[in-house]
Chains A and B, each alone.
Chain A
């Protein structure tokens, strides 16, 4: 354990001494890139501004000429309408929230635990079949899900998972994108560090949990966001019939559409345009908050710091 502790200590020191490099940066370049970045940021934020503003617009402002980007007389009516509709649903609103939290929590945690156990050997060990498995995982990302829906449905029904949380949670475990992401980050961990842990007599399993996972925090935080996103928008409505097992995302999108399909598709349905904008903001703001909280916690980790051969 001694060698390993020493290395860890050295890494911590390096983390403190990390200084920003300056000499290869010219002032003109900084200014140019600063302007470039802010221009793009403005372009990107414009549509989002429209979404936010629309949610607070009264009906008459939504269809006015010339269209105004910013709301003139902000109102919360759209949200009141939405809450009124939400409180009249068959299943209480809190039940939808509970379902979402439950599936996201178990889906994401299960995925990270199971996928990291598979990603680590693929990244750092040579064994028969490793290349084949990796290729299969990459290729699986390229097959369109539109045609695998039918076989998927058959499999889920054969496993007696239809109409249960399992129909959503278990497929999330085997999400290949998260595994691929984590594997790529584990590849960058210097071998010296792993060797040190191995000399101390730790098995691959121990090395993974004690050494590797703390180092690849950005990777599994990103994997968490991916699973969250997947489960937030994809509510598995084809595998679940019971209203009491469905999530918030599904419920909100149903409320907004209210049977008027043109409304969902284009956001132009007049009757529920207000509720639709309020819902869009909610559907959007929740993942953004989750993303913001998780990203703020990922401060530069030192996956490779000072450890390169």
Chain B
């Protein structure tokens, strides 16, 4: 016991010494951390507290323990449906969107600079203007003036219009397609910028070492050199794919017919922004939060194997 407390004391002294040594660094970080704490950490902590209360925004919150969570997991069938939909969408959009955006960034990097910039703009454009996806309402519109229905009618493939956005079977596919279209976001940008930072002399060295084609070069040289960007892109695609919801609202309306595209995000904004049951909504947010952290752990484990 004595020995252990002695080593604790030593550890404590060392920590204090290190903090003193890095005084300037702490000073440099202070402005950001203070603002980050006030505008991000504090609201999150507050919301976690709300998840254990009954809070209708007008009256002060009442402590109710874990009853919000109990209700969520035992008595809320729509939430079950929402979890299913969210995981289904995330499985499609997360990995697919991630690989897709890396592949495109990598191909763009081979092109001459100007053409590359043009393509970057084209691919990034959908996620730049937040509400551009409304255009898919015109494409998949359920009357004959919709682009897809109009085209299919003209070609004689269908005799009558298809209710793309009202049919439970086609709805979720369309939501996935549109989300994929929008998934080339920040992760894609960081891939583009990261590829420019790979040391060209490594490629030359690789050629001498017997790298035969572009795929080997990608796996053994490019990918291992971009681990920070790969991690960043992974976090981005996780947060993006698990919080799909606005696209569903914009395309099929809220609530979606028979909750066919109801996601956790939809469920959350339903309780938080419409029914004003902030305690319950916060509990949903906490569940979503842990789901994302879990996904992040899985992905990080996988990314560690890249290039080996």
Report the separation of the CA atoms of residues A141 and B295 in the bound assembly, to the nearest whole angstrom: 13
A139 and B293 contact, Cβ closer than 8 Å, known pairs A121-B28, A298-B193? yes
**Neighbouring A residues of B159 by C-beta, 8 Å:** none
Q: Of B15, B204, B268, B296, which contacts A142 at CB under 8 A?
A: B296
Q: B151 contacts the other chain (Cβ, under 8 Å)?
A: yes
Report the separation of the CA atoms of residues A222 and B273 in the bound assembly, to the nearest whole angstrom: 32
A184 and B190 contact, Cβ closer than 8 Å, known pairs A128-B15, A204-B24, A295-B117? yes
Q: A85 contacts the other chain (Cβ, under 8 Å)?
A: no
Measured CB to CB, the closest approach of chain B to A299, in angstroms, equals 7
B197 x A301 contact (CB < 8 A): yes
A147 and B119 contact, Cβ closer than 8 Å, known pairs A114-B31, A114-B32, A127-B18? no
- From A33, which residue of chain B is reached at the shortest CB distance? B107
Report the separation of the CA atoms of residues A208 and B201 in the bound assembly, to the nearest whole angstrom: 26
**Neighbouring A residues of B250 by C-beta, 8 Å:** 265-266
**Neighbouring A residues of B108 by C-beta, 8 Å:** 37
Report the separation of the CA atoms of residues A300 and B193 in the bound assembly, to the nearest whole angstrom: 8
B28 x A118 contact (CB < 8 A): yes
A267 x B134 contact (CB < 8 A): yes
Report the separation of the CA atoms of residues A108 and B65 in the bound assembly, to the nearest whole angstrom: 41
Report the separation of the CA atoms of residues A16 and B274 in the bound assembly, to the nearest whole angstrom: 59
- What 1/0 mask marks residues of chain A from 296 to 309 whose CB sits below 8 Å from any chain B CB? 10111111111110
Q: Of A25, A37, A253, A287, which contacts B104 at CB under 8 A?
A: A37
Taking CB atoms and an 8 Å cut-off, the chain A residues in 207-255 that contact chain B are: 208, 218-219, 222, 225-226, 229, 233, 253
A125 and B117 contact, Cβ closer than 8 Å, known pairs A140-B40, A184-B228? no
A48 x B147 contact (CB < 8 A): no
Q: B36 contacts the other chain (Cβ, under 8 Å)?
A: yes
B107 x A37 contact (CB < 8 A): yes
**Neighbouring B residues of A181 by C-beta, 8 Å:** 186, 190, 232
A266 x B196 contact (CB < 8 A): no
Report the separation of the CA atoms of residues A21 and B154 in the bound assembly, to the nearest whole angstrom: 49
Measured CB to CB, the closest approach of chain A to B8, in angstroms, equals 14
> How many contacts A-B (CB < 8 Å)?
297
Q: A192 contacts the other chain (Cβ, under 8 Å)?
A: no
Measured CB to CB, the closest approach of chain A to B106, in angstroms, equals 10
A143 x B44 contact (CB < 8 A): yes
Q: Of A21, A174, A176, which contacts B203 at CB under 8 A?
A: A21
Taking CB atoms and an 8 Å cut-off, the chain A residues in 102-138 that contact chain B are: 114-115, 117-118, 120-122, 125, 127-128, 133, 136-138
Q: A201 contacts the other chain (Cβ, under 8 Å)?
A: no
A117 x B28 contact (CB < 8 A): yes
- From B200, which residue of chain A is reached at the shortest CB distance? A18
B43 x A152 contact (CB < 8 A): yes
Q: Of A120, A174, A185, which contacts B38 at CB under 8 A?
A: A174
Report the separation of the CA atoms of residues A185 and B292 in the bound assembly, to the nearest whole angstrom: 24
Q: B181 contacts the other chain (Cβ, under 8 Å)?
A: yes
Q: Of A29, A149, A185, which contacts B194 at CB under 8 A?
A: A185
Q: A88 contacts the other chain (Cβ, under 8 Å)?
A: no
Q: A165 contacts the other chain (Cβ, under 8 Å)?
A: no
- What 1/0 mask marks residues of chain B from 206 to 221 whose CB sits below 8 Å from any chain A CB? 1100011110110000
Q: B265 contacts the other chain (Cβ, under 8 Å)?
A: yes
Q: Of A66, A146, A147, which contacts B151 at CB under 8 A?
A: A66
Q: Of B150, B213, B232, which contacts A26 at CB under 8 A?
A: B213
B203 x A185 contact (CB < 8 A): no
Q: B64 contacts the other chain (Cβ, under 8 Å)?
A: no
Report the separation of the CA atoms of residues A63 and B138 in the bound assembly, to the nearest whole angstrom: 10
Q: Of A23, A120, A225, A308, which contacts B207 at CB under 8 A?
A: A23
B201 x A306 contact (CB < 8 A): yes
Q: Of A229, A267, A306, which contacts B137 at CB under 8 A?
A: A267
Q: A150 contacts the other chain (Cβ, under 8 Å)?
A: yes
Q: B87 contacts the other chain (Cβ, under 8 Å)?
A: no
B132 x A47 contact (CB < 8 A): yes
Q: B122 contacts the other chain (Cβ, under 8 Å)?
A: yes
Q: B1 contacts the other chain (Cβ, under 8 Å)?
A: no
Taking CB atoms and an 8 Å cut-off, the chain B residues in 144-177 that contact chain A are: 144-147, 150-151, 153-154
Given contacts A50-B138, A284-B129, A304-B199, 16 further A-B contacts (CB under 8 A): A24-B203, A47-B181, A50-B139, A54-B135, A64-B145, A65-B150, A118-B32, A146-B268, A173-B31, A185-B228, A187-B228, A233-B129, A280-B135, A287-B129, A291-B128, A301-B196
User: Could you list some 13 contacts between A and B, CB below 8 A?
Assistant: A21-B200, A26-B213, A47-B136, A121-B22, A127-B19, A146-B268, A179-B32, A179-B36, A180-B235, A181-B232, A229-B128, A267-B138, A300-B197
Interface residues of B (CB under 8 A from A): 15, 18-19, 22, 24-26, 28-29, 31-33, 35-44, 46-47, 50, 57, 104, 107-108, 110, 113-114, 117, 119-126, 128-132, 134-139, 141, 144-147, 150-151, 153-154, 181, 186, 189-190, 193-194, 196-204, 206-207, 211-214, 216-217, 225, 228-229, 231-232, 235, 238-239, 242-243, 249-250, 253, 265, 268-269, 272-273, 278, 281-282, 284-285, 288-289, 292-293, 296
Interface residues of A (CB under 8 A from B): 14, 18-19, 21, 23-26, 29, 33, 36-37, 40-41, 44-45, 47-48, 50-51, 54, 63-67, 69, 114-115, 117-118, 120-122, 125, 127-128, 133, 136-144, 146-152, 154-155, 159, 170-171, 173-174, 176-177, 179-181, 184-185, 187-188, 203-205, 208, 218-219, 222, 225-226, 229, 233, 253, 264-268, 280, 283-284, 287-288, 291-292, 295-296, 298-308
